[in-house]
Homo-oligomer: A and B are copies of this chain.
Amino acid sequence: MRTSDETEERRGAADVTEESIVSFAREFDPQPFHVDKEAAADGPFGGIIASGWHTCALMMRMYADHYLSRVASLGGPGVDELRWPAPVRPGDRLTVRATVEKARPSRSKPGRGLVHTRVEVFNQGGDVVLSAVVVNFLRMRSAG
């Protein structure tokens, strides 16, 4: 587990290209404003934007590389309050910040801790493009 100092840093850096937005969305979220440049220009966002699930996947990669890689992750039961407050557009560069909100030993499984982490993804302008509370099971060291 990390100190609050460590969590204040923004880490990662995922560069989002139009090609990657369209390729992800063709496979998983083929709505016009994700896959069709012309339709998207006339659509609700005035241009192509990334599927929110693509942003989640990019968040996961940065979170796995920069936070989970240092601990013993045992998976997670879920995510709360997942929000996409601003769209992700081609050319954006994303970074991630993780802040531990709660941590406690599991009640049912010894040696396991349950950690709630507020994860935020920012674009290069400092706008939050994703915010969520991710719950992870982590292996605990024995005390002492």
Whether A74 lies near B44 (C-beta < 8 A) is yes
Task: Tell yes or no: A12 within 8 A of B by CB.
Answer: no
Question: Which residue of chain B has its CB nearest to the CB of A130?
Answer: B78
How many Å lie between the Cα of A68 and that of B52 in the bound state? Answer: 15
Annotate A52-95 by CB proximity to B: 1 below 8 A, 0 otherwise. 11001110110011001000011111111111110000000000
Task: Tell yes or no: A36 within 8 A of B by CB.
Answer: no
Number of copies: 2
Nearest-CB distance from A100 to chain B (Å)? 19
Whether B76 lies near A52 (C-beta < 8 A) is yes
Whether A51 lies near B60 (C-beta < 8 A) is yes
Task: Tell yes or no: A18 within 8 A of B by CB.
Answer: no
When distances are taken between beta carbons in the complex, the residues of chain B under 8 Å from A82 are: 78-80, 82
Of B61, B74, B76, B80, which one neighbours A81 at CB under 8 angstroms?
B80
Q: Which of A2-10, A26-34, A113-121 contacts B (4 or more CB under 8 A)?
A: A26-34
Q: Taking each of A79, A83, A85, which has the highest tally of chain B beta carbons within 10 Å of its own beta carbon? A: A79
Whether B78 lies near A28 (C-beta < 8 A) is no
**5 A-B contacts, Cβ less than 8 Å apart?**
A27-B57, A30-B64, A30-B65, A33-B75, A77-B84
